[in-house]
Amino acid sequence: MFFGDQSGVRPVTLYHVTTTENAEAILRNGFAEREAFFGASAMRIGVWLSDRPLNPAEGASGDAILAVAFNVEPRELSFYELVDDGKSFRQWCLPASLIRAHGKVSIVPTDTGQRFWCLTDIEYLERLFASTHKTNAAITASISAVKASETLLVRIERQLNGGFGEELAAAAFAVSLDSLLRSAIGRTKGKARAAIYMADADGRQLRHIVGMSKAYARYVDGFTISPESLACGLAAATGQAIITADVMAEPRWKPWLWLAERFGYRACWSFPIQTATGKIVGTFAMYYREPTEATPDDLDLASTVTRAAAAILSSPH
């Protein structure tokens, strides 16, 4: 389980630069979610942290430095790392709820922090080398997927016409979404299967984009979005997570139990994928072979996945 028992693990400390007023509020009440852009256009929601305090030339503004300590292995943070090659530092966008639950926040005295603000040339080169020679396979795969997706999106812009638009867009989105799902499934240690569905232009039906088998997709493509529906159809209609710990115990599932039995799952969790403007663009689903309740860590993971999926599904196409 993510951020589980980490006794004996050396703490990882990350830094957040802000104003004195904000720092005092954070120390009293904890971090809150914030929206910001990473790179040219990618929206991220969470708390921005780096492996050292940043200065204004590096995009930070404020006169206070907060340190957040976690008792975790560095690899546990890889899902949230923002890769920007050529930088002399590493950075992450972590959910505020995760920090409140597992991080220890303290303020860094200005005189102690000054050494981070004036790196020597050797320190800069060492950090630059580290940031441009990442070996994390998941990060590398994500970069490749995004690049492939961008290539497909360019082709879509040249080929959009008639009813082919949604099919071409879905093919492009699938590349990035597949990488996202693989990371999410990895966090469950392979216990779950997962899928992402995209809402059609009218917001009436869901299409399977990636995750489950083609055989399963044939049965669920065109699933109705309605308050009378279930699972993803209901999540998309209400904008709320629909957690079914055991489909056998849920009356709504009676007409669809044959599907769950045929494809071997008992628990089905559905989460709406919602843009920053409130539009539902799809759903994220997780399936378990045995009856399974969702834990706070599971909900944190789902929140991260749906935010990332929203950015992908709402990108221009």
pLDDT of residue 178: 81
The reported pTM is 0.50
CA distances from 50 to 13, 47, 61 (A): 9, 10, 13
Task: Please report the pLDDT score of residue 88 as a whole number.
Answer: 76
How confident is the model at residue 228, as a pLDDT? Answer: 93
Q: How far is it, in rounded angstroms, from Cα 209 to Cα 303?
A: 19
Per-residue confidence of the chain (317 residues) as pLDDT tens digits? Answer: 345 445 555 678 899 988 888 888 888 888 988 876 665 446 678 898 988 888 777 777 777 888 898 877 667 777 888 877 667 788 888 888 888 888 888 887 654 333 333 333 334 334 444 444 444 454 454 445 444 544 444 444 444 444 444 444 455 567 678 878 888 888 888 889 999 999 988 899 999 989 999 899 999 999 999 999 999 999 999 999 999 999 999 999 999 999 999 999 999 999 999 987 889 999 999 999 999 999 998 998 898 888 888 887 876 54
Q: What distances in angstroms separate CA 53 from CA 6, 27, 100, 123, 236, one per listed residue?
A: 25, 17, 20, 14, 40
Tokens of 1: 């389980």
pLDDT at position 139 = 45
Closest CA to 26 of 99, 89, 119, 116: 99
- Tally of CA atoms within 13 A in the half-sphere of 313 that contains its CB: 31
What confidence score (pLDDT) does residue 95 get? 87
pLDDT at res. 29: 86
Backbone dihedral region of 3: left (phi > 0), alpha (psi from -120 to 50 degrees) or beta?
A: left
Task: Specify whether the CB–CB gap between 62 and 17 falls below 8 A.
Answer: yes
Q: Is 33 helix (H, G, I), strand (E, B) or coil?
A: coil
**Do residues 152 and 174 touch, judged by C-beta distance below 8 A?**
no
Q: In the structure encoding, which two tokens stand for residue 278, read together?
A: 């409130």
d(CA 195, CA 166): 18
Supply φ then ψ for residue 314, to 5 degrees: -95, 5
If one looks up domain 137-313 in CATH, what number appears?
3.30.450.40
Domain ranges of the chain: 12-132, 137-313
CB atoms within 10 A of CB 35: 10
Dihedral (Cα; 161, 164, 167, 170), 10-degree rounding: 0
